Amino acid sequence: MVSLALDALSWILLLTGGAFVIVGGIGALRMPDLYTRMHAASVTDSLAPILILSGLMLQADFALYVLKLGAILLFLLLSGPAASNALASAALLSGHSASYKAPEDST
């Protein structure tokens, strides 16, 4: 019974993480400029690995794989925001500006 509950919880986490990846990818395609695309990608890059790797940890039956997956998760959580920050700084220094257009008034 406990293994069935852990299996169900792990699949819920895996599917939810996969859904966040898909929604984040679609959001990154629909955004108008580099900075908003980076925002969509970095938000997805922070939450999706937590859900996916937590689901994989529950599937691993608390073996040595759990420690390895935890180390991967820690690396992803530390490197993802730093990479997004470095990319945004490089875009700003190269003169890439945001192409924001105000919504037109339809009245």
Question: What digits encode the pLDDT tens for the residues 16-75?
Answer: 999 999 998 888 888 888 888 888 888 888 899 999 999 999 888 777 888 999 999 999
In a domain, 23, yes or no: yes
In a domain, 6, yes or no: yes
State the pLDDT at residue 13: 94
Range(s) of the domain holding residue 64: 2-88
In a domain, 61, yes or no: yes
Six-digit token pair at 63?
């073996």
CA distance 21 to 48: 6
Higher pLDDT pick, 24 / 105: 24
In a domain, 106, yes or no: no
CA distance 7 to 28: 31
In a domain, 101, yes or no: no
CA distance 89 to 13: 33
How many structural domains comprise the chain? 1
Question: What digits encode the pLDDT tens for the residues 82-95?
Answer: 888 888 888 888 88
In a domain, 98, yes or no: no
In a domain, 62, yes or no: yes
In a domain, 95, yes or no: no
pTM score of the predicted model: 0.77
CA distances from 96 to 19, 42, 101 (A): 31, 18, 15
DSSP annotation string for 17-85: HHHHHHHHHHHHHH-SSHHHHHHHHHHHHHHHHHHHHHHHHHHTTTSHHHHHHHHHHHHHHHHHHHHHH
